[in-house]
A and B are shown apart, each in its own frame.
Chain A
Amino acid sequence: MIALGQAMVAVALLALAPLNAQAQHSEATETSVKAAFLFKFAGYVEWTPADFAAEDAPLVIAVAGAEEIAADLARIVPGRIVYGHPVTVRKLREGESARGAHLVFVGRQESARLAAILRAAREHGVLAVTESDKGLELGAAINFVAVEDRVGFEVSLDSAEKSGHRISSRMLTVARRVLPKAS
């Protein structure tokens, strides 16, 4: 119940966000929106049974940097189920690998480590999400972008495939930019 209540708050925030896109709130709402998007991305990735150790193994979202987003995400996920899997959040310490996670978000605070984390993520089949201007070019599958004070995202099908995952075409309809697969 508590988890559901938190979820509702999160969604309510999500819904209100565009309506209250005021400058003084933009920072706070941006983090919560990104946290909510991160959770929803999990729902639009076509996971396979091979991605999980067991049928009821958790779907793990790793967060490098971006403490506030990690905190928001941690508030959202308890009790939420994606494709039959509970969702958990793991903070990535310095030098720690995203190995074992399904999704890794790299905050803009970690721009120095960005390339290394993305390389490791691709090696271990983890779908990477960034909030960097060059995120997709550096190998992220999804990258947050700002559009007219609102949060949007772009997708690289090539990177997603290289990390061994497929992203639902339905999600692509709302992506700002989609980089096609390398043929």
Chain B
Amino acid sequence: MLESLRHSLRRKVILLVLAATVAALALTALGLVIYDLRVYEKQWTDDLNTQAEILARASAPALAFDDRRTATTDLTLMKVRPRVLGAALYTRGGELFATYTKPGLEAVAFPPRPQADGYTIEGDQLRIFRRVVEGGETIGTVYLRAYYQPWERVRDYLTILGVVMLASLALAALVSGWLQSAITVPILEVAHTARQVISQQDYSLRARKITDDEIGQLVDSFNAMLAEAGRRAEALREADRRKDEFLATLAHELRNPLAPLRNALEILRVAPSNPALAEKARSMMERQLNQMVRLVDDLLDVSRITTGKLAVRKGVIDLQATLHDAIETARPLVEARRHELVVEMPPEPIAVEGDRTRLAQVFSNLLNNAAKYTEPGGRIALTLAKDAQEAVVSVSDNGIGLDPASLQSIFDMFVQVDRTLERTHAGLGVGLTLARRLVALHDGTLTATSDGRGRGSGFEVRLPLAGAVRSEVDKARHPGGREGSRRILIADDNADFANSLGATLTGRGHDVRVVYDGAEALATAARFNPDFAFLDIGMPRVHGYEVARRLREQPGTAKCVLVAVTGWGQEDDRQRAREAGFDRHLVKPADPADIDSILKSY
């Protein structure tokens, strides 16, 4: 029973209904029995008293006129009360005058003398005496003896309860049978489907919806979860497949440069004295090594993407300069495949907030893809434009194009458009994934368009304009600015020292900010993103060690070169500065030549 309960919802429902019914009935019966036992004695004695009173009144004339026959007839009236076992009349003198014994009973002894008014309970019998009063005079006594069996009554109650309970249980069983169809059948349906899904691993199965109540909602939710689980299982299989392909590709790509490298080494070994051959071998090794470096860099980026550690270091940058960087990077491949590269850019600079290196990586990737996936001698167009809020960079070609179906999937990790074609071009299939992720980190979008296979393709990058800090870009492009210009923050409460150092560095073409305490240094650094910070240690409000620690914590200044400039030059001072995050330590008065060498060495 218990074992089947564990497994059957239906039995549980039935048991629940039955238990509730039994409990309710039992409690009701218990209450009734207790109440009735309390009432029973009073009711029964009151009743018998009344009987005695009526009997006394009726038999008074018989007593008065000494008529035993009538008296006996009067007592015989008690026949209608089956619980009355016996009745008797006594004369005023206390003599037994007339008696009645319930028919069928053996003759019972009556008390020889009457007792005082009142009742007594002896065993299962109740005895009552009552005086007969006529015209103000006592003329005799009535005696009644009756059954008094409360337990018999309780037994009757329990019998009734038993019958009622059996009937109720039958009814409850019917009700729970109905409940089963209303509640458990839909649930069993879900359970059945769940078992099937588990055993067959078939996520296309669906539970049948029978009702519109909460169970119906459960069925809907269950089906929705099945659909979701099916999608995820499919996605997992797909991701797994792509990863396998990626590993195969990776092994292939990593092994590809090894054969030429070994060959080159062999050439150097067998012909060390042939300079022309050695040069050829050396340049081959360089090309292959660069290829391997690029592969490993891509691998590192893949790792950063999957672990969510891909980060960009933002500053306001000039998009045209960034694009020139990208063109330079892609130029070898473009030229090797004899493509025509058409570049269109507006004359005025377009500034965005971003990481110049990473964005250049994005654009060069797009250019390289265009060069790769276009037959030699093709045409590649790179245009830069802007609308109200965004800068728009588009790279288009007249190459192999894209299926409409793959317009989205090419951005998935390890997806390559044409695996047969890909075989001729090195790559891991992570370029576009990485590009789109990098653009997203700049709050921008990267989308692909194509009129179809063989009809060329276009990629468009949209980046938010950095309008507010435009002036900085202008300044950076100002003729005064030159190659080697650095952003430098100087913080010292000695204003003369700070200003003079600032003037010197500005004169050498650097972008310099001068502040006079630690708090100001932190505030300025957050906006300015300096490449170098020359910090005094004993500054008001926030001392130099603390400034260094906080600058190291901020992403914008984490890689800033920190130089402590102090009056203390003991080894423990230098040690403390290193622990705070300083890269260098200068002792006042600082030699300008030392400062120059520091600026050049980073």
Residues of chain A having any CB pair with chain B under 8 Å: 11-12, 14-19, 33, 37, 40, 43-44, 81-82, 150-153, 170-171, 173-174
For A174, give its contact among B62, B95, B97, B135 (CB under 8 Å): B62
Given contacts A170-B60, A173-B61, A174-B61, A14 and B134 within 8 Å (CB-CB)? no
Note all chain A residues with C-beta closer than 8 A to B68: 18
Select one of A40, A81, A152 contacting B64, CB under 8 A: A40
B93 engages A40 (CB within 8 Å): no
Query: Which residues of chain B have C-beta atoms less than 8 A from A40's C-beta?
Result: 64-65
Q: How many A-B residue pairs have CB under 8 A?
A: 48
Residues of B within 8 A of A19 (CB): 95
Among the listed B66, B74, B97, which residue makes an inter-chain contact with A150, where contact means beta carbons less than 8 Å apart?
Answer: B66
Give the residues in chain B near A33, CB-CB below 8 Å: 66
Highest count of chain A CB atoms <10 Å: which of B61, B62, B92, B135 = B61
Cα distance, A82 to B136, chains bound together (Å) = 9
B61 touches A171 (CB 8 A): yes
Docked CA distance A174–B72 (Å): 11
Of B64, B95, B136, most A-chain CB atoms within 10 Å:
B64
For the complex, give the distance between the alpha carbons of A14 and B140 in Å. Answer: 12
When C-beta atoms are compared, the residue in chain B nearest to A170 turns out to be B61
Closest-by-CB residue of B relative to A153 is B65
Given contacts A43-B134, A44-B61, whether A174 and B67 have CB atoms under 8 Å apart is: yes
Q: Which residues of B contact A153 (CB under 8 A)?
A: 65
B66/A14 in contact, CB under 8 A: yes
* B49 contacts the other chain (CB 8 A): no
Complex contacts, A12 vs chain B, CB 8 Å: 92-93
CB of A55, distance to nearest CB on chain B (Å): 17
Which B residues are in CB contact (< 8 Å) with A152? 65, 67
Q: How far is the CA of A16 from the CA of B58 in the complex (A)?
A: 22
The size class of the interface chain B forms with chain A is 20 to 34
Within 8 A of A (CB), among B331-353: none
Q: How far is the CA of A82 from the CA of B64 in the complex (A)?
A: 14
Contacts of B65 in A (CB 8 A): 37, 40, 152-153, 171, 174
Report the minimal beta-carbon distance from B13 to chain A, rounded to whole angstroms. 69
Docked Cα-Cα span, A11 to B97, in Å, equals: 14
Once bound together, how far apart are the Cα atoms of A82 and B93, in whole Å?
Answer: 22
Contacts of B64 in A (CB 8 A): 40, 43, 174
What residues of chain B lie closer than 8 Å to A16, measured between beta carbons? 93
B70 to A: closest C-beta gap in Å = 5
* Residue in A closest to B60 when the chains form the complex, CB atoms: A170
CB distance from A25 to the nearest CB of B (A): 15
What separation, in Å, do the CA atoms of A150 and B62 have in the docked complex?
13
In the complex, how many angstroms separate the beta carbon of A128 from the nearest chain B beta carbon?
Answer: 18
CB neighbours of B92 from chain A (8 A): 11-12, 15
List residues 448-476 of chain B with CB under 8 A from any CB of chain A: none
Chain A residues in 8 Å Cβ range of B74: 173
| Complex contact A81–B136 (CB within 8 A) | yes
> Is A11's CB under 8 angstroms from B93's CB?
yes
Q: Does B91 contact A (CB under 8 A)?
A: yes
Q: Give complex CA distance A19, B96 in Å.
A: 11
- Chain A's nearest CB lies how many Å from the CB of B242? 117
Cα-based distance from A40 to B67 in the complex (angstroms): 14
State in angstroms the CA–CA spacing of A35 and B68 once bound together. 19
Q: Give the complex CA separation of A171 and B58 in angstroms.
A: 10
Q: Which of B64-89 contact A (CB under 8 A)?
A: 64-68, 70, 74
Q: Which residues of B contact A (CB under 8 A)?
A: 58, 60-62, 64-68, 70, 74, 91-93, 95, 97, 134-136, 139
Please classify the interface of chain B as helix (H, G, I), strand (E, B), loop, or mixed, using the class held by over half of its residues.
mixed
Cα A80 to Cα B147 with chains together (Å):
41
Contacts of A14 in B (CB 8 A): 66
Q: A12-B93, A174-B65 are in contact. Are A43 and B135 (CB under 8 A)?
A: yes
> When chains A and B are docked, how far (Å) is the Cα of A1 from the Cα of B320?
147
Please measure, in the bound complex, the distance between the C-alpha atom of A43 and the C-alpha atom of B70, giving whole angstroms. 19
6 pairs of residues in contact across A and B, judged by CB atoms under 8 Å = A18-B68, A43-B134, A44-B61, A174-B65, A174-B67, A174-B70
Distance (Å) between the CB of A21 and the closest chain B CB?
Answer: 11
- List 17 other contacts, CB 8 Å, given A15-B93, A33-B66, A43-B64: A11-B92, A11-B93, A12-B92, A12-B93, A15-B66, A15-B91, A15-B92, A40-B64, A82-B135, A151-B66, A153-B65, A170-B61, A171-B61, A173-B74, A174-B62, A174-B64, A174-B67
Question: How long is the Cα–Cα vector from A175 to B34 in the complex, in angstroms?
Answer: 50
User: Of B60, B66, B136, which one neighbours A18 at CB under 8 angstroms?
Assistant: B66
- Chain A, residue nearest B95 (CB): A15
Judge whether A173 and B62 touch: CB under 8 Å. yes
Taking the closest CB of chain A, its distance from the CB of B71, in whole angstroms, is 9
Chain A contacts for B61, CB-based, 8 A:
44, 170-171, 173-174
Tell me how far the C-beta of A79 lies from the nearest C-beta in chain B, rounded to whole angstroms. 12
**Closest chain A residue to B69 by CB distance?**
A174
Nearest chain A CB to B366 CB, angstrom units: 129
What residues of B have a CB within 8 angstroms of the CB of A18 in the complex? 66, 68
Q: In the complex, A11 Cα to B70 Cα: how many Å?
A: 19
In the complex the two chains form, what is the Cα distance from A81 to B64 in whole Å? 16
Q: Select from chain B the residue with minimum beta-carbon distance to A44.
A: B61
Q: Which B residues are in CB contact (< 8 Å) with A81?
A: 136
Q: CA of A17 to CA of B61 in the docked complex: distance in angstroms?
A: 16
Q: Determine the distance from Cα of A151 to Cα of B67 in the docked complex, in whole angstroms.
A: 9
Residues of A within 8 A of B70 (CB): 173-174
Q: How far is the CB of B507 from chain A (nearest CB, A)?
A: 147
Bound-complex Cα distance A162 to B363 (A):
145
Tell me, rounded to whole Å, the shortest Cβ–Cβ distance linking A172 to chain B. 8
Across-interface contacts of B58 in A (CB, < 8 A):
170, 173
CB-defined contacts of B93 to chain A, threshold 8 Å:
11-12, 15-16
Nearest Cβ distance between residue A140 and chain B, in whole angstroms? Answer: 17
Cβ distance B225 to chain A, nearest Cβ, rounded Å:
92
Tell me which of A11, A15, A37, A152 has the highest count of chain B C-beta atoms within 10 A of its own C-beta: A15
In the bound assembly, the distance between CA atoms of A43 and B137 in angstroms comes to 11
Chain B residue at minimum C-beta to C-beta distance from A33? B66
- Write out the residue numbers on chain B whose beta carbons fall within 8 Å of the beta carbon of A37: 65
Q: CA A79 – CA B92 in complex, angstroms?
A: 19
Please, how many angstroms separate the alpha-carbon atoms of A26 and B134 in the complex?
27
Chain A contacts for B136, CB-based, 8 A: 81
List, in ascending order, chain B residues with CB within 8 A of A17's CB: 66
A-chain residues with CB within 8 Å of residue B62 when the two chains form the complex: 173-174
A153 to B139, CA, bound (A): 19
CA distance A12 to B62 in the complex (A): 16
Bound CA span A33–B62, Å = 14
Name the CB-closest residue of B to A41. Answer: B65
Q: CA separation between A171 and B59, bound complex, in Å?
A: 10
Task: Give every chain A residue within 8 A of B97 (Cβ-Cβ).
Answer: 15
Nearest CB of A to B466, in Å: 125
